[in-house]
Structure 1
Amino acid sequence: MRKSVARGLSAGLVAVVSLTLAACSGSGSDSGGSDGAVTGNGTYDGPKVDITFWHGWTGGAAPTLVPKLIDKFNAEHDNIVVKAVPQEWADISAKLPLAIKAGKGPDVAVLHGDDLATYAAQKLLLKADDIVDSLGYSAADFPPGVYDKGNYQGAQYAVPWSVTPLGLYVNKDVLAKASLTDIPTDKAGYEAALKALKAAGVQGEWVDGYVFTGTFEFQSLLWQFGGDLYNKDITEATFNSEAGVKALTWMRSLIDNGYSPANVAQDGNIKALLANETAFNWNGVWQTTNTAFDGLQWAAAPVPQIGDEKAVWSSSTHWVFPANKGQDANKTAAAATFVKWMNDNSAGWAETGELPGANTVRDDPSLVAKYPNLKPFIDELPYAHYETVSPGINEANALITTAINEALTGKKTPQAALDDAKAKADKILEQNRAKYGD
């Protein structure tokens, strides 16, 4: 049975979405004659609308889960019909900017954290401060640091949806070859385990020079040693600092000490773990849904603290409201209702190998009771680090992976590799400032 939407909102309620669109009208959006509003509990009181939703969830459990969620939402809202348009993330990156400029983009979409500033700088997204306030959201409703990734030049453009931290995957059977049972948590324990595994004829961690997951391991280590990727205003790369050199030198030492083979291929480390050839793999929470683990004696744990402080890499995804030319404010208000409902009903999203961003959902004991392998990843969130917020940052970020690969393959020393990458990254940052503005 369809659930009726509450009507007759208080006379003092401000139609915040109309105001948001009116404020953006100079950049191609207009209010579309809105007479609807959305309240803090996510209720939309406007006329019936169809809204489109673009997302890139085309693999794993998502193609089954997303339609079920949308069907349930549509059944509970008699004045909103959500129509999803799933496509590859690369296709979204290519199509979405042009579609928004032509007024043919979606009413709501999901983007990765490192894309938000690029879209915001091009005025492709609505400033969502009023929308977020109307839904009752604040930074305290999400893991520390992730809400701020939706903020660009003092305005909020996004609502967090999910987070995907790195963790340590352990093959218990391989660990047992060295008579080990405890999972190490710090540098001394981790290196002692690697040494014991080597004595047992096992190279304990296969380290690679690719984004998945050598880059994520390097960034975790960089932050653990007290460094950062860029300076505060993102005008200079700082990943070649003493902390960065320590991080990459430690990764290289795994090869030099015989704990890892050289020239590990893309995904070679996770494949080695699954083939009982290695004991440890730094990888993302998404691997908890990997059916190849079935029948394997394994465990997940927080990444060990190799540096001076706890830190771990994580990515994030966020809801955004495109600033389509001629955007209908009723549709944006309805989209905000959809976002609130999805976040409130996101417990099942764990089936996709991502952690729900909403604290109320993720901190519910029933989530870990149903998905116990998620606990170590949830435990890491207080010290997780997320994407850099800066327009065009991905081109500079790619140079970090190049440096890691050069150091791990022995083409350059860690210092030289990072210095060369920093010099090129600084030029890209300068070009980005000229292209997108300071």
Structure 2
Amino acid sequence: MNKGIARRAIAATLALGVGIVLAGCAGSAGGSGSGAVPGEDYAGPKVSITFWNGWTGGAAPVLVPKLIEKFNSEHDNIEVKNVPQEWGDIAKKMPLAVKAGKGPDVAVGHGDDIATYAAQGLLLGADDIVDALGYSADDFPEGLMEAGAYQGDQYGIPWSVTPLGLYVNNDVLRSAGIDPAVVPTDKESYMAALETLKGAGIAGEWVDGYVFTGTFEFQSLVWQFGGDLYNDDVTKSTFNSDAGVQALTHMTDLIDQGYSPPNVAQDGNIKGLLSSETAYNWNGVWQTTNESFNQIDWTVAPVPQIGTEKAVWSSSTHWMFLNNKGQNQDKTAAAATFVKWMNENSAGWAETGELPAANDVRNDPALIETYPNLKPFLDSLPYAHYETSAPGITAANALITTALNEALTGKKSPQAALDDAARQADAILEQNAAKYGD
């Protein structure tokens, strides 16, 4: 999950040039419309539909085929063909494949992919599909449907969410005389624990300047301090606001004051936690499937509230219906039946380290009974913030990580690093507006 998102972000940025060319020849966003999708299961002639997804690691490659096999066995008139590949490869292949009429009938994309694909004309508008399937925003965590929208129209249906949590090495806490049952929930209690750990010669939280997981921690802190990454219409960067500076200063202070070592390598913080060198790590729900945790005594809790508001970063994935040249409406209708069935049967998806998006599935008490480590993540969803949705946003987001790395390595002050990144990001946002017609 973690390295997959990073590869996806890089590849999506590289693919923008291809997509921009296609956007001009693929018609308006959403193309020819969603076609006829009945509210009940697809009852037309037998069709074979292709499903692209980026689940190539962890438990997902095992679970997805099992779910598809079960779906196929229950639907004589629909055959779903699973085509897993790297997220980044999907971003690169999708524009040309859809233009040639050889793209998937249904795919899964992350929240920061949807608007780009929609602006390129690659997706069918999903408003009619959402209505036909009986979905509304209330069926999913607050704000999640918005992550699959573009210019007021819906292009994605939520599938999963992956918020951050605070992973705790209980043995390390005990070695410093800290009761593991007392989990820090705010800045005062968190800093007190870090100070005690420091007194025992332990750097309690290792802060890194990479997407995983420094960027996600920074974004959580920006929201906690009452700020945001961009303005409402995503035409200007705001991550260099007072809130952004407070967020990044908190992280640099952890290094400067000895609570974190300097120059933590990519994934060094989670490795430090697993090797009992540090006590706390802000990381995603996907780590609950990390078998290395079996080697330590650990717990997980919601991330502490360092700022004035509760907030936490979360990624999301969404179902998308593709606007292939000559797209067959029966296949789109069959794909809609597949999506509804998958959401209704998504309880086992927690096994992959992702939370089902559907409220009725996720809130079933049996889910926590089966996967008790998910409770802190479920508890944090009411104040989760999802990826910014705007065409080409991944290129601007990459500059946030650049600023983070520059500040945490002492090359620039938090303010200077964020200001420089914001200037460059604003230029990208302006270019995106011109390219995509926003």
When normalised by structure 1's length, the TM-score is: 0.92
Aligned-partner SS, 1:294 = helix
2:51 paired residue number: 53
Residue 217 of structure 1 pairs with residue 204 of structure 2 = no
Residue 110 of structure 1 pairs with residue 108 of structure 2 = yes
1:433 paired residue number: 433
Matches within 5 A, 1:27-426: 37-39=37-39, 42-181=40-179, 182-426=182-426
Aligned-partner SS, 2:112 = helix
Aligned partners of 1:350, 1:156: CA distance in 2, in Å?
26
Aligned-partner SS, 2:176 = coil
Aligned partners of 2:170, 2:384: CA distance in 1, in Å?
26
Asked whether the 8 Å contact 1:51–1:334 carries over to 2, the reply is yes
Q: CA deviation at 1:48?
A: 1.0
Q: CA deviation at 1:46?
A: 1.2
| 1:327-378: CA deviation from partner (whole Å, max 9, x where unpaired) | 0000000000000000000011111100000001000000000000000001
Q: CA deviation at 1:90?
A: 1.2
Q: CA deviation at 1:69?
A: 0.3
Q: Indicate how the Cα distance of structure 1 residues 327 and 206 shifts in structure 2: closer, same or farther if over 3 A, else same.
A: same
Aligned partners of 1:180, 1:127: CA distance in 2, in Å?
53
| 1:173-220: CA deviation from partner (whole Å, max 9, x where unpaired) | 001112112110000000000000000111000000000000000000
Q: CA deviation at 1:38?
A: 2.4
Aligned partners of 2:152, 2:191: CA distance in 1, in Å?
44
Aligned partners of 2:370, 2:422: CA distance in 1, in Å?
44
Q: CA deviation at 1:29?
A: 6.3
Aligned partners of 2:391, 2:146: CA distance in 1, in Å?
15
Q: CA deviation at 1:74?
A: 0.5
Give the aligned residue type for 1:403. Answer: A
Q: CA deviation at 1:37?
A: 4.3
Aligned partners of 1:398, 1:425: CA distance in 2, in Å?
9
Aligned partners of 1:340, 1:351: CA distance in 2, in Å?
20
Q: CA deviation at 1:231?
A: 0.5
Aligned partners of 2:144, 2:49: CA distance in 1, in Å?
26
Aligned-partner SS, 1:114 = coil
Aligned partners of 2:196, 2:335: CA distance in 1, in Å?
55
Identity value in percent: 73
Asked whether the 8 Å contact 2:207–2:269 carries over to 1, the reply is yes
1:17 paired residue number: none
Give the aligned residue type for 1:164. Answer: T
Asked whether the 8 Å contact 2:49–2:79 carries over to 1, the reply is yes
Asked whether the 8 Å contact 1:29–1:324 carries over to 2, the reply is no
Q: Indicate how the Cα distance of structure 1 residues 357 and 382 shifts in structure 2: closer, same or farther if over 3 A, else same.
A: same
Give the aligned residue type for 2:41. Answer: T
Asked whether the 8 Å contact 2:31–2:121 carries over to 1, the reply is no
Q: Indicate how the Cα distance of structure 1 residues 312 and 30 shifts in structure 2: closer, same or farther if over 3 A, else same.
A: closer
Give the aligned residue type for 2:75. Answer: H
Aligned partners of 1:272, 1:64: CA distance in 2, in Å?
29
Unaligned runs of 5+ residues in structure 1 are 1-23
Give the aligned residue type for 1:417. Answer: A
Give the aligned residue type for 1:92. Answer: I
Aligned-partner SS, 2:300 = strand
Asked whether the 8 Å contact 1:208–1:265 carries over to 2, the reply is yes
2:15 paired residue number: none
When normalised by structure 2's length, the TM-score is: 0.92
Asked whether the 8 Å contact 1:28–1:326 carries over to 2, the reply is no
2:11 paired residue number: none
Aligned partners of 2:27, 2:353: CA distance in 1, in Å?
39
Asked whether the 8 Å contact 1:30–1:325 carries over to 2, the reply is no
Asked whether the 8 Å contact 1:111–1:317 carries over to 2, the reply is yes
Give the aligned residue type for 1:322. Answer: L
Q: Indicate how the Cα distance of structure 1 residues 28 and 187 shifts in structure 2: closer, same or farther if over 3 A, else same.
A: closer
Aligned partners of 1:93, 1:30: CA distance in 2, in Å?
21
Aligned partners of 1:311, 1:92: CA distance in 2, in Å?
31
Bigger drift between 147-156 and 304-313 goes to: 147-156
Q: Indicate how the Cα distance of structure 1 residues 259 and 78 shifts in structure 2: closer, same or farther if over 3 A, else same.
A: same
Please provide the CA RMSD for this pair. Answer: 1.5
Aligned partners of 2:30, 2:125: CA distance in 1, in Å?
13
Q: Indicate how the Cα distance of structure 1 residues 314 and 37 shifts in structure 2: closer, same or farther if over 3 A, else same.
A: closer
Give the aligned residue type for 1:93. Answer: A
Aligned partners of 1:218, 1:352: CA distance in 2, in Å?
25
Asked whether the 8 Å contact 1:37–1:46 carries over to 2, the reply is no
Q: CA deviation at 1:326?
A: 0.3
| 1:392-414: CA deviation from partner (whole Å, max 9, x where unpaired) | 00000000000000000000000
Q: Indicate how the Cα distance of structure 1 residues 324 and 199 shifts in structure 2: closer, same or farther if over 3 A, else same.
A: same
1:3 paired residue number: none
Aligned partners of 1:75, 1:192: CA distance in 2, in Å?
56
Aligned partners of 2:114, 2:429: CA distance in 1, in Å?
16
Computing the radius of gyration over CA atoms, which structure comes out larger, 1 or 2? Answer: 1
Q: CA deviation at 1:59?
A: 0.5
Aligned partners of 1:405, 1:27: CA distance in 2, in Å?
36
Q: Indicate how the Cα distance of structure 1 residues 367 and 356 shifts in structure 2: closer, same or farther if over 3 A, else same.
A: same
Aligned partners of 2:375, 2:316: CA distance in 1, in Å?
18
Q: CA deviation at 1:28?
A: 9.8
Q: How many residues align?
A: 411
